[in-house]
Structure formats: structure tokens, C-alpha cells
Amino acid sequence: MQAKKRYLILLSAGACLVLLFSLGGIQLPAASRSRHDRSRNGYRPDQPWPHFSDPLYPFMPWDQTDTEEYNLHISPRQKRDVNMSVYKGKRCRMDSCFDFSLCQKNGFKVYVYPQQKGEKISESYQNILSTIEGSRFYTSDPGQACLFVLSLDTLDRDQLSPQYVHNLKTKVQNLPLWNDGRNHLIFNLYSGTWPDYTEDLGFDIGQAMLAKASISTENFRPNFDVSIPLFSKEHPRTGGERGYLKYNSIPPFRKYMLVFKGKRYLTGIGSDTRNALYHVHNAEDVVLLTTCKHGKDWQKHKDARCDKDNAEYDKYDYKEMLHNSTFCLVPRGRRLGSFRFLEALQAACVPVMLSNGWELPFSEIIDWNTAAVIGDERLLLQIPTTVRSIHQDKILSLRQQTQFLWEAYFSSVEKIVLTTLEIIQDRVLEHGSRSSLMWNTHPGGLFAVPQYSGYLGDFPFYYATLGHGCCDVASVSMAAQPPSAQLETASIDSPIIVLWNCDKPLPAKHRWPATSVPVIVIEGENKVMSSRFLPYETIVTDAVLSLDEDTVLSTTEVDFAFTVWQSFPERIVGYPARSHFWDSNKERWGYTSKWTNDYSMVLTGAAIYHRYYHYLYTNYLPTSLKSMVDQLANCEDILMNFLVSAVTKLPPIKVTQKKQYKETMMGQSSRASRWADPDHFAQRQTCMNKFASWFGAMPLVHSQMRLDPVLFKDQVSILRKKYRDIERL
């Protein structure tokens, strides 16, 4: 009986096992491996992806692909531990890890540690440090500093890179001012290494802020870190090329709708989305090309598609595609960011972002929805339909915004660094921070300085946006020497400000011409040329009529120029015009005063402009340029034209050509005007090139437009003409 019971029990157990197998309750080892493979290929029951004849390898959510093995053997707790080791100060914010008291006494000043002997610095990091040291934020005194920047090169923290700095942890900890990173800013472009490319920098950043490329939203600390773009070592330090949008055409006729050309990673992180691009590529208006041919061991990992992909890849020229496509795909690479982001912006090719979890560059201030299409890696197959559905007007708007953002914040290392510092300054001086409108509309946050005013209506760029007209009165600013100050020329009902810059004493009151408005005389303390552009509190109007002491203008001419300026308040409007040209023989910029139909400068000896440019001239331009002007006692008018054109990207405006432009003798002496001095002209040639070098490019813009009064030369009765006195000159 006992033996029969044992047999019955074994038989029952066997039957149960067969039943479980048949219902799928237990997987055989082969079935288990099959399911494992399917999860690696991106299939999950909660993802409603369509079925294809071949598996879609890339469709894994971005947060499931952190390592080469896709984290199949890493628990969530282990992932958290990895992240915490990268960012031990993950909870840091400005109010908890930044000492505002350091900024209260001297304002927002930045100190750069002195470079240590024997420490190698990459060219890119040297460009960053040089930009800071040449900016208005820089201080050489750590006691005055609000923010500290390391001289140790932290840009490339990939251990396999030749630029990798060893023993950085010890070197940083030994810095006397480190203070656990408090009030420090660390720049980084590359972090982690093969195969997982984590965001580990290889040292504890403590409470320091990060200005980092390819930073993830998971590790980004809002309003503390700054996301910066990935830029190449060839990226220009200053200036940079302008964007490539030449024609604002609707519809935007371009050969391709969507393009991409880049590496396809066969193994490891970054091999997901790019491996699936061939599903969308149609070789017509959607051209998405990848190549396996990179790295030393690519043939070892070569798959069945490599030869076909490589052959298709070689058929197309990347630049031709870039400049002839409406949209440019920007998928993740080994890291979240890629060089194609900046390349697309410059080319006016609307970026289609396909890098889930990437905190986009300068996201704190830039509204990327106005310049890019934010895609989802898991919805790759929907991208072509999505971009085709965007209206042509919207496409033009997106392309225009790419050009503005490129030129305002990304075209040079200098602009990237200064934008980073300005963002941090806005946090420190929160009451004087810029609005979103300032950051996202022309001329951008670098030229709209909130320390000047917190009201948009005080800037010349926002009158149209705010929907109100410009000014009804102007102040007259004159650089005067006795006795030839032509005060009677001012017809505008506002104060006349005379800057007395000569060594002679002020003349007696009875020698000054009688005027119907107050005359305010300011004696220049240093008697230098730049003092004429100081932001004097006595200038209370937005419009400034700037006159040299030897300028002769009639009241009619002043009135007409002011009328023109009211329609173009962001530009210089005036009479004496000059031009620049490129001298190919001497390979330098030239300066000419010949009267032609072409000009690029309107001299401030007889011009109207907005008083905001006094503030920019004084506070934005470096001391080196202003010192050069003061030493030469020359070129201040050229420098002002450079500044205004750099801000507006537009030429000045010349008004009616006078039949005579009198440059009088200076004073009572027989000495000729400085305009006839050959040394004076040679100095101006030198100034042109020095200024262009600092700006990184030539900002002056040529124009052939001249504005004349209505009926100026028409053969009609003189009584019908408002500015009839101009013809009599």
C-alpha cells in the first residue's frame, strides 16, 4: 500500500508539471533566453510598437540604456548609488550652496585661479579662461570675487582622452579657496568613458555649479547648473560666422525635408536610436545616413547592414545636405548632445531633437519651442509625418529664430561663456534679472543689460513690441570748445549739455549764445574722448543729438534727422557718412571718407542715437579699446558705430546729403581741422582693425539708403515743402 501511495503522488506531481508547462507558467531555458533577447531588442508589453519583419533594436526608453548591457543586471538602487556618486551635491540650489554675501559688496565679479606650472590646458579651455579674463566681470583679486573658476582643465573628463587631467581630485582639494566648491563654477564638455559614458567627472565637485554639455535632466540641478552646448575645438573664440539664412522665402524651398549624416554605433550606449534611422530613410526628401566605418574594431562588430549603409553614406555631401534641408535630425550619440546641434542652428536648418532626457542648452532662458522640434526617441517613426505637418509660416519663424539664437548665444566660445555668466548673474541679482522677452528676442540678453533699467520701454529695441511710439524730445550733447559752440542750431525743446573737454578755462557767461532752453556744462575730469559717451544723469531723454564743436547744422536739418530717428530708434541717424572696405593687398580693413553711394558709418559729430548706447559704450566695451581711443584722441565715433552695428546687425541711416558740410577751423588758431591731418586718417585705419579684432568679425554693415524729405527735389512750389530750408543750403 505504501508503494502504491508513493507512485500516485509522483504521478500527480508529474501531471501538475505537464499542466503548468502547457499553460506557460514555467519557461524552459530556451524560452527564457528568447524573452531576454526580446527585451534587449526593445520590446516591452506596455509599448505598443508595430511589428516589423526585422526587429527594431533601438526602441528602448532612454533611461533603460545607460550601459553597454542596458543595465539588465543593475538594480534601481545600484543606479541611484551611481548617480549619487556622480553628484554628491545633488540637492544643491542657489539658496543652499551659494554664498550671496560675497557678491553684495563688489557686485558680480569672477576670479580665475592663476595657472600652475606644468599644468596642460587645452585650447578650448584656454579660450574659456581668456574670455572670462577679458570680460567686464573679471577681477584679479579673489577678495572681491563672487564666483571662482578653476585654471585646471576640466573640459574633457574621459579617461581615454589625451586631454584628460590626472590626479584632479587631489589638485582641486588642495586649492586654498576651494571651500568644498562653494561659489565655484566648473566647465565640462565630456564626462565618463567607454562603455557606459556616465556623467562622472572623476572628482567630487562638492557644492560647485556645473556648466556642462550633454547633461541629463535626471542630474541637472535647476537654477543651479547651466546646460551648455557641445562645441568643437575649432569653434571660434570670438565673433564667429553669421547664420546662413539668406532669404526669408515662403514656402521655404529646400531640396530635403529632413536629413542626418553621422556614425552608427554597433555596440554600447548610443547604438539605439541611430540603428533605427534606416526605417525612416527614403533617399528622397528624408535622407538619414549612418556609417559603421569608424573606430579601430568596427569590422569585428560589423552587421548585415553595414556595407549597404556605408555605400549610401558616401553618396551624399554633408554640407550640401545641411544647407539644403528644412529640418535636421539631432539624435543622441555616445552622449546626449552632439556637434550637429550647433551646425543645424547656424545653417538655419530647424533642429529636430531626438535625445530623451537631455537638458537643452541654456534651457533656463531660451524657449526652444520657438526654434526647434522636440521629438521622442520612442516615436521615431512619427517624425517625418510630424515635420511635414508644420505650416510654412511656422517653419519660417523657426528658421528665423535659429539665426537669432545662433548669433546671440552660440556663434563663439565667448558668447557661450558670457551667456553662462549672465545667467548666473541674473540669479545673484534677482531683482535686476532679464525677462524672457529680453532673452528670446533681438538683440538678446547679452546686449539688453538689466542694470540699465528694469523697464523694457527704456530700451530702443522694444518700442514696437510694446506698441508705443518713440520719443518727442531729445537732449543735445556737444563736445565744445570756445567760442564756436553752435548752440543756436538746437531747435529741440530739451536741455543742451556741453561737455567741456579742453584745457582752457570755461568762458564767461556773456560769451555763451542765448538759448531758450537750459545749458548744462559738464567739465570732463580726465579730458578724454570717451567721456563724451558717459551715461550722464543729466541726459533725461531717450534721444541724444550728438554734435562736435565744429559742426554747423540748421534747425531744419536737426528737426528732420530727429523725425527720421523716431522711426529707427535703435540706429544711429545723421549726416556725415564714412565707409569701410577690405584691402586685399594689405590684408586689412581700410577706412575711406570719399563721398559715394555706399556707407557703413554715420559719425557722431552730427548724429542722433539712443542714450542706451552711452551705457553700453561705458559698461560693455573693454577698457583696452576705450583706452586706445583716449590715448589717440581719435576713433571714438568709429567705436560707437562698431558697437551699435554689433548690437543691431544693421547699418546706420544717413539723411539728406547736405549741399555743403562745413568743418570749421578749430578755435581762433590757424591750425587746420584734424580731418585734414594725415596722421589722423592713419590712426583711424589702425582703429578699424583693432576694433574688428576685438569683436571677432567686422560688425559694420554697408548701406546705400539715404532718407530725404518728401518733395525734396520735386519741381513744385517751395511753399508745399515742410523742409524747404534744406534746399537752400
Catalytic residues: 637
By the 8 A CB rule, do 455 and 437 touch?
no
Concatenated DSSP letters of 649-717:
SS--EEE---S----PPSTTSSPPPGGG-HHHHHHHHHHHHHHHHHHTS-----B--EE--TTSS-SS-
Residue whose grid cell is 578755462: 505
**Structure letter (DSSP) for residue 540:** -
* Cβ partners under 8 Å of residue 285, min gap 6: 255, 256, 257, 258
HSE-CB for 348 with a 13 A CA cutoff: 21
**Whole-angstrom distance, CA of residue 378 vs CA of residue 42:** 10
CB atoms within 10 A of CB 589: 20
Amino acid at position 607, single letter? A
Rounded CA gap, 446 and 423, in Å? 10
Continuous segment of H or E residues that includes residue 616: helix 612-619
Let me know: does 165 contact 120? Beta carbons within 8 Å: yes
CB burial of residue 315 (10 Å; 0-12, 13-18, 19+): exposed
Can you tell me which residue has the cell 528568447? 34
Question: How does DSSP classify residue 374?
Answer: E
> What gap in Å lies between CA 226 and CA 222, rounded to an integer?
8
340-345: long-range pairs with CB below 8 Å, 24+: 340/260, 340/262, 341/229, 341/230, 342/229, 342/230, 342/231, 342/235, 342/406, 342/410, 344/402, 345/243, 345/371, 345/402, 345/403, 345/405, 345/406, 345/410
Q: Which residues of 67-98 are buried (b: 16+ CB within 10 A; e: fewer)?
A: beebbeeeeeeeeeebbeebbebeebebeebb
CA separation for the pair 629, 633 (Å, rounded): 6
User: Contact 355/330 with Cβ under 8 angstroms?
Assistant: yes
Beta strands in 28-150 (DSSP E): 110-112, 147-149
614: Cβ contacts below 8 Å, ≥ 6 apart: 533, 534, 535, 536, 539, 544
The 3 state secondary structure assigned to 478-519 is EEECCCCCCHHHCCCCCCEEEEECCCCCCCCHHHCCCCCCCE
Handedness of CA 404, 407, 408, 411 (dihedral sign): positive
* Burial degree of 122 (CB within 10 A; 0-12, 13-18, 19+): middle
User: What distances in angstroms separate CA 118 from CA 115, 124, 172, 354, 365, one per listed residue?
Assistant: 9, 18, 15, 41, 38
Candidates 111, 177, 175, 121; CA nearest to 144 is 111
Q: Read off the amino acid at residue 429.
A: L
Q: Please answer whether residues 439 and 433 qualify as being in contact, where contact means their C-beta atoms are separated by less than 8 angstroms.
A: no
Alpha carbons 431 and 187: distance in angstroms, whole number: 26
Q: How far is CA 477 from CA 15, 492, 542, 545, 548, in A?
A: 105, 12, 12, 6, 9
Nearest-CA neighbor of 632 among 586, 566, 683, 671? 683
Instruction: Return the number of other C-beta atoms located less than 10 Å from residue 710's C-beta.
Output: 9
